[in-house]
Structure formats: structure tokens, C-alpha cells
Amino acid sequence: MATDERNFRSTYYEKVGCRSVEEKRSLEILLKEKPLNRTKLKQFCLRFTVPSVHRALLWNLLLGLAPVFCDSHDYVMAQWSMVYEDLLRALKVLRLIDDKTTKSRIFYAMWLLENRKLKAGVNINVENTFVDITEVLNGSSISENDVDLYWIAKGFYNITREISHDFLKMKELTYVLLEKEDHAMFKHLTSLDIFHTLPMEKWYSSCFAGVLPKLSLIRIWDKICGKSKKIIVFVFIVLFNTQRVKLFRFKTVKEVLDHIDTIKENQEKGDLIVTKSIELWQQNRSHRSQND
């Protein structure tokens, strides 16, 4: 019980960005360096939970969006704002968005326009990874500034495209590690022939957006911004391991997917899965190279 209570408190403190004073001080010291050191900030991001108050700045730096020279940040934000307003104005003139269009769809249309992919007849309401990412970022309140949020969404989307490119390798690694960590679960899923029907590619390419609660998932995305893309594999393993009692009762893929679909609304389950995923990833990371 003592361990469970400590883990519960730790999870709660991590969610609200309240870690130890030493960790906070360490990050504040790093953020005062001139110029900022991305390597040190990356290591902090991988080792500790990022305080919510510093998350937007840290992500901007790690995603290569903001410069390491703090004196230039205001200028860069001004340039971002100009591009953002130009894109927004163009979409309104083209009558592709209105007051009822959601922020995630507006951002997606802006991205399409900026990347010259907004062709005649394009439907901005289709399901896609960019929208899924924006929904998580918006729901986790990473930034109250829409300009900042749009740029972060673009930067994180670039990482998900890398993950999508490496999906086959990551899928094979998932099978190997799942069999190692939970052989019984691996055998059960294999017996159901579920690996061929699970939406693994969608889960991985969206970094589990829409699968886990937004406030829980953002802690996994901290690590991904720190260039640890393989943590996604451990999320998959823990997702099934923590639900093993119920999953062993299921005989069809639909039953499995219907149950997993309930987790995104369960903050307690989401926190547990994320905490255990990070712990398992850290254990494995300590036995291999620091680079994923």
C-alpha cells in the first residue's frame, strides 16, 4: 500500500507539474543559460516530468521551433503570428472555415494551405493524424496562445511522420518485447489472430491520440519531444498488460477494441498506464544506448 500511495501521489504531482524543488531548480537554471543548451534540455525531458508551466517553451526548443537565443524569441513569435494571421485570413476569404469550424480543423486547413496541399475539393473534416494531435494539445492546455499551439502541432506532427515511416520496425520490436514482458498475453493475442486487425499503425502514427486521456498522454509526448520515439512501443505493451484480466476473457477483436475505447475517458486508468509505460521504458533504456 505504501508503494501504491507513493505512486499515486507521484502521478498527481506530475500531472500538475509539481515535482521536487531540486528538479524545478535544475530546469530553471537550464532555461537561464545563454544560449540555451538543447542537449541538456532534452536530457531533462527524458529523465523528469516536465512542469506544465514550462512545457510549451521546452517543446518549442526541442522541436527546433524556437531559437536557443532567448533574445530572439519575441521576434520569432512575431513572425509566427504574421504567418498565422495570413493563413487564417486566406481560409476565411476562401470560405473554407467559419465560426463553427473547430480549432483542430482550422489548424489542419492552415497546414494544408501552408504546405500547398489545399486543393479543390479537399475535405478538412476527414479523420487524420494532424487533427488528432491538435485535439490532444488543445485538451491538455499546453498553451493558451493559438499561434504557439499551431506551431507546436506542426512540429510534433513531423515526429509522428517519422514514427509512421519506422512503423514496421517498431511493430516487430513490439512483438519481441511483448513476448518477453508478458508471454501469456502475447500467446493470447496471437491465438485471437489480433495483431493483423489491431489499428497499431494508427495508434503509433498518432502517438496514441484518442486512445489514452489527453492529460495522461501529454507526459508520454514529453519523452517523444525528447527524441525517444520508441516509448510508444512500451505504451502498447503496458496498455495490454494493465488490462490483462479483462482481455483474457475476450474472444473477439471487437471485444478487445471496445474495451480499449473506454480507457480514453478514464483518467485513473490513463495515469496508471502512462506511469507504468514510463517506468518500463526507463528500465529498458538503462540497459541500452541513450539514443533511441
What pLDDT digit, counting tens, does each position of 7-18 carry?
Answer: 444 455 544 445
Q: Is the pTM of this model over 0.95?
A: no
Q: Which amino acid is at 68?
A: V
Q: Are residues 42 and 134 in the same domain?
A: no
Q: Are residues 14 and 89 in the same domain?
A: no
- The interaxial angle of helices 167-181 and 231-241, nearest 10 deg, is 40
Q: The CATH number of the domain where 97 resides is what?
A: 1.10.8.680
Q: Where are the alpha helices (DSSP H) in the chain?
A: 2-15, 21-30, 38-47, 52-62, 73-93, 103-114, 129-139, 146-165, 167-181, 183-191, 200-205, 214-225, 231-241, 244-247, 253-261, 267-285
Q: Are residues 135 and 234 in the same domain?
A: no
Q: The CATH number of the domain where 56 resides is what?
A: 1.10.10.750
What does the pLDDT read at residue 291?
45
Q: Are residues 78 and 154 in the same domain?
A: yes
Q: Are residues 30 and 103 in the same domain?
A: no
Residue with the bigger pLDDT between 16 and 74: it is 74
Express each pLDDT in 157-210 by its tens digit: 999 999 999 999 999 999 999 999 999 999 999 988 888 889 999 999 999 999
Domain membership flag for residue 219: yes
Q: Is 196 exposed, middle or buried (0-12, 13-18, 19+ CB in 10 A)?
A: exposed
Give the C-alpha distances (Å, rounded to integers) separating 262 from 211, 249, 257, 259, 269: 8, 16, 9, 5, 10
Q: Are residues 194 and 225 in the same domain?
A: yes
Q: Among candidates 282, 161, 171, 268, which has minimal Cα distance to 220? A: 282
Domain membership flag for residue 149: yes
Domain membership flag for residue 130: yes
The residue among 68, 90, 122 that closes a domain is 68
Domain that holds residue 2: 1-68
Express each pLDDT in 255-289 by its tens digit: 999 999 999 999 999 999 999 999 999 998 866 55
Q: What percent of the chain has pLDDT over 90?
A: 76
The residue among 18, 51, 68 that closes a domain is 68
Domain membership flag for residue 292: no
Domain membership flag for residue 173: yes
The residue among 38, 68, 98 that closes a domain is 68
Q: Are residues 20 and 58 in the same domain?
A: yes
Number of domains in the chain: 3
Residue 90 in this model has a pLDDT that exceeds 60: yes
Domain membership flag for residue 291: no
Q: Are residues 117 and 177 in the same domain?
A: no
What does the pLDDT read at residue 285?
81
Express each pLDDT in 225-250 by its tens digit: 999 999 999 999 999 999 999 999 99
Domain membership flag for residue 290: no
